[in-house]
Chain A
Amino acid sequence: MTVLEGKGVNKAFGGRKAVDNVDFDVQAHEILGLIGPNGAGKTTLFNLISGAIRPDSGVITYKGTRISGRKPYAICHMGLGRTFQTAKNFPDLTVYQNVRMGATFGKKGVSEADAERITNEVLAFVGLQDAAEKSMKDITLALQKRVEVARALATGPDLLMLDELMAGLNPTEVGEAMALVSRIRDRGVTIVMIEHVMRAIMNMCDRILVLHHGQKIAEGTPAEIAANPTVIEIYLGE
């Protein structure tokens, strides 16, 4: 079943086309990888989906409802969560408070008791219960990114977009992050991830979409992408 779909999505900054006539679809419960060289338009595509910016043209639908043109908070309420390339945590709040904010505002009409229950559940799920009272400045980058994932999870998404969750992490931490992503999928959450760590992409994704200069140049299973001559040329040509 298609949960997220884009048709002819365009976005230009100045004269440069950041996202150029891209079609895409995301199936329920899959992990879709989004790859491409720096400046290929991956984060711009995330921003278009999450409502941070509006497409110049094209339509994006989520669970059959048009979301392009809506505000980020409304899209979040519909069950679409995201993280940012450089973690955008609330720096002066504790780990617990960060996640609690996600639980409080992620859906309409969440009671304080519900928010507390959700927060504790999510903290335990991502393994942050022991760090709950720590301040954001006192924890490692890997944990900061984990807090951001937890905050997004606390908003109760059916689809979660992860922007370079593994960038800047050491090999052990990458392994932990991969395990976390798998467990999130096992909860029934569909995942779209931008990633440069090929080990993660190739091992975890059901399908991969390749962007280059804002255009979609390939789409398929990891095996298909690995064998695709155009993709190889772009990555080797760099």
Chain B
Amino acid sequence: MKLLRAYREKPVRAVPAAAVVLILILLGLLPGMTPPYTTIMVGSVLMYIILSLCWNMFSGATGYISLATAAFFGLGVYASAFLGGTLPLPALMLVGGAAASVLAFLIGLITLRLRGVYFTIFTLGIVKLLEQLILYLEIHFNNTRGRFVVSHSYTEVFYALYVLLILLLAAILIIRRSRFGKALICIAEGEDAAQHIGINATMVKVLAFTISAFAMGAAGAAMATRWSYIDPYIAFNANYSFLPVLMVIFGGSRYLPGPIIGAAIFAYLQELLTTRFPYIYMLAMGLIMIAAILFMPRGILGLIYDGVRKIHKRKEAKADDGS
């Protein structure tokens, strides 16, 4: 299960820190400068970036492919559905994130001993179980399928996701430099060996799963207030589990910008194409996923970095010839 290894080689510094800060500042000014449609669309892109980064934080690092993303996201959605109006948006996100984390912690404790494919099936099963269970409860006890959510403006939701993303990026950078981050690297490199040099692999995996679920739940809580109506099929849509996987694989799971680039590209394409050609779009996603696994195992960034390295080498070779 060691296919998606994150953080393992030092990438070429293709994106200088200054450029990242500039992009983030421009993003922050976006709602004031562009039409509402753009803000709504970029908000959705931010959501997918958050989900992809979170997915990669656990699955990319440990090799356990989780499809529980929709479960954590959906719990956040329902946190807003239940508590919207009584709590401000940041508080809703905290509650949604906490609920998702608790679920992730429990799932992690009982399932991370399962072998790879069983773990994946289990996580997908959790998504479907929650979807059907909540549907059943809603129909039987409330005579309704869905709920209305006290809505917040798209600008508010945009900034909520924006701040969440910045916090998430900061958390990832801190984790990468921490003991915990190093333990994750060791597990990705070889779990047996990691355990035998003193790493409590189970605990590290459970923690990574729990932390990553928090932001997923928080994102769900924020998005729900933009949608205003939700039902179990919207909240626990399995695409929230599948699409981040595709985005990370396409972008390149072992580089920090990989999930961001993958998510940005596909979330944008989705907004563009999904209403006009929904089936063709999803079909293409499937084909691209297959092609990416077969032909670019390190994602689009892996290809780019390889290209940059080659050019560097050629330049060096030329310089050597000249001297």
Contact = CB atoms under 8 A, between A and B. Distances in A.
Partners in one complex: yes
Interface of A: 50-52, 71-74, 76-77, 81-82, 84, 88-93, 101-102, 104-107, 151-152, 154-155
Nearest to B203: A73
Contacts of B179: 104-105
Contacts of B9: 92
17 contacts: A50-B196, A51-B195, A71-B202, A81-B197, A90-B185, A90-B193, A91-B189, A91-B190, A92-B5, A92-B189, A101-B182, A102-B198, A105-B197, A105-B199, A151-B193, A151-B197, A154-B197
B196 A82 contact: yes
Residue with the greatest number of chain A CB neighbours at <10 A, chosen from B8, B9, B182: B182
Nearest to A135: B9
A227 B263 CA distance: 70
Contacts, number: 73
A97 to B, nearest CB: 9
A130 B5 CA distance: 28
Interface residues of B, number: 21
B219 interface: no
**10 nearest A-B residue pairs (beta carbon):** A90-B189, A88-B193, A105-B198, A72-B195, A76-B198, A92-B8, A102-B197, A73-B200, A106-B198, A72-B196
A81 B197 CA distance: 7
Contacts of A152: 196-197
A81 to B, nearest CB: 8
Nearest to B199: A105
B200 A71 contact: yes
Interface of B: 5, 8-9, 179, 182-183, 185-186, 189-190, 192-202
Contact of B195 (A71, A90, A101): A71
A152 B196 CA distance: 8
Contact of B197 (A76, A92, A93): A76
A155 B195 CA distance: 12
Residue with the greatest number of chain B CB neighbours at <10 A, chosen from A82, A90, A102: A90
Contact of A84 (B182, B192, B202): B192
A72 B201 CA distance: 10
Nearest to A87: B193
Given A93-B185, A93-B189, A107 B195 contact: no
A207 B263 CA distance: 61
Contact of B190 (A76, A88, A154): A88
A18 to B, nearest CB: 18
B199 A93 contact: no
A106 B185 CA distance: 15
B186 A90 contact: yes
A151 B189 CA distance: 14
B33 to A, nearest CB: 43
A104 B194 CA distance: 11
A73 B193 contact: no
Contacts of B199: 73, 105
A107 B197 CA distance: 9
B249 to A, nearest CB: 18
Contacts of A91: 189-190
B190 A90 contact: yes
Contacts of A155: 197-198
A4 to B, nearest CB: 16
A85 B284 CA distance: 45
A203 to B, nearest CB: 28
Contacts of B198: 73, 76-77, 102, 105-107, 155
Contacts of B194: 105
Contacts of A89: 190, 193
Contacts of A102: 197-198
A82 B198 CA distance: 11
A137 to B, nearest CB: 12
Contacts of A93: 8, 185, 189
